[in-house]
Amino acid sequence: MLTGICFVIGGLALAALDQLIKVWATTYLLPVGSMPLIPGFIELRYVLNDGMAFSLLSGRRWLLIGVTGVVLLAVAIALIVHKMPRLERIVWMLVLGGGLGNLIDRVRTGVVVDYLNFQFIDFPVFNFADICVCTGVGLLVLSLLLDLRKERRAAASAPAQSEQNDADA
């Protein structure tokens, strides 16, 4: 339980960091619009997004707030109550922190502040909270694929092990 609480606090710290970066972006990027970070590769561009990823559900503020709030509450409870491997806790801490960072924006202003823009591909502008959520989901998918691979290997070796045991008897 204490470990889970520590990971929830970690998620809160990620959300706080996200909010600090967004305050910086609003203070320094809003007046200029954009500035290069790595010229020709990535720029800092101030954008407001009233939807979720790729502007999906744009204009559905209260739906996004409600669904996100319920999911994040479930994640926080799961982190505290359920036993899980460390990688899984990291995954859910990242999702909690990123989701909470964007939820705070939606509740406070109705829009999410985005500021990272890749210039070499056509991709939506995003933020630190988005990075946290996507990294968490990516690690979850990787973890599930590795678990599936381990299960398949174990299942494949089980008949061979059984045949070896029969031969030894």
In a domain, 17, yes or no: yes
Pick the closest to residue 48 from 133, 139, 100, 109 (CA basis). 109
Per-residue pLDDT reduced to its tens digit, 1-11: 889 999 999 99
Give exposure, 109-124, as e/b (b: 16+ Cβ within 10 Å). eeebbbbbbebeeeee
List 18, 114, 122, 147, catalytic entry = 114
Per-residue pLDDT reduced to its tens digit, 8-28: 999 999 999 999 999 999 999
In a domain, 77, yes or no: yes
pLDDT attached to residue 142: 93
Amino acid found at 98 = G
Q: How far apart, in Å, are the Cα atoms of 96 and each of 37, 93, 129, 132, 139?
A: 27, 5, 9, 9, 14
In a domain, 142, yes or no: yes
Q: Which domain holds residue 18?
A: 2-158
What's the domain count of the chain? 1
In a domain, 38, yes or no: yes
List 130, 147, 166, 168, catalytic entry = 130
Is residue 18 flagged as an active site residue? Answer: no
Return mean pLDDT, the chain.
92
Q: What is the reported pTM?
A: 0.86
In a domain, 27, yes or no: yes
Is residue 50 flagged as an active site residue? Answer: no
Give exposure, 97-106, as e/b (b: 16+ Cβ within 10 Å). bbbbbbbbbb
